[in-house]
Amino acid sequence: MPGHKTHLAAELACLPLCLGAGYGLGLREELLPLGLGYLAGSLFLSPDLDLYHSRPARRWRLFRALWWPYTRLFRHRGLSHHPLLGPLTRLLYLSLWALGVWTLAGLPRGEPPPAALALPFLAGLLLPQLLHVLLDRL
């Protein structure tokens, strides 16, 4: 199994390829959300968040404790490393925390981002996750 540095190096090396492919497919204004989602997926929403002492968990700094329950819910390389369900569990988990904070703070509801920006961002989140899982399985 590749280590964290290998995962991150491979993921970041593929970012220009993904952006180039997106550009070749006619994406223009969607490239920024795609790239930002990709970086967030590589650096902050890695499948290795199921390990509390992993580098992705440490990148959360003060908010690292948010991921402790996640490490108890998911064993390493279990569901959290599923190519599709893994990223969905992390997004749902993070969304529940955000909804709770939003509700407790009594913040007004905002408009959701337009699908033209949200979908490329979500695709960007998913791509490094898939690469991570593929590297683990090789």
Q: For residues 51 and 57, is the Cβ–Cβ distance under 8 A?
A: yes
Give the chain's domain count.
1
How far apart (Å, rounded) are the C-alpha atoms in residues 107 and 100? 11
Please tell me the predicted confidence (pLDDT) of residue 37: 96
Name 120's Cβ contacts closer than 8 Å, sequence gap at least 6.
Answer: 22, 27, 30, 31, 33, 34, 37
Domain assignment of residue 75, given as a range: 4-137
Average pLDDT over residues 52-72: 94
pLDDT at residue 64, as a whole number: 95
Q: What is the pLDDT of residues 82-125, one digit of tens each?
A: 888 999 999 999 999 999 988 898 888 778 788 888 999 999 99
How many C-alpha atoms does 94 have within 13 Å on its Cβ side? 16
Does the CA dihedral 102-103-108-110 come out positive or negative? positive
What is the total residue count of the chain? 138
pLDDT digits (tens, 9 = 90+) for 10-54: 999 999 999 999 999 999 999 999 999 999 999 999 998 999 999
pLDDT of residue 1: 58
Report the first-to-last Cα separation within the chain, whole angstroms.
Answer: 8
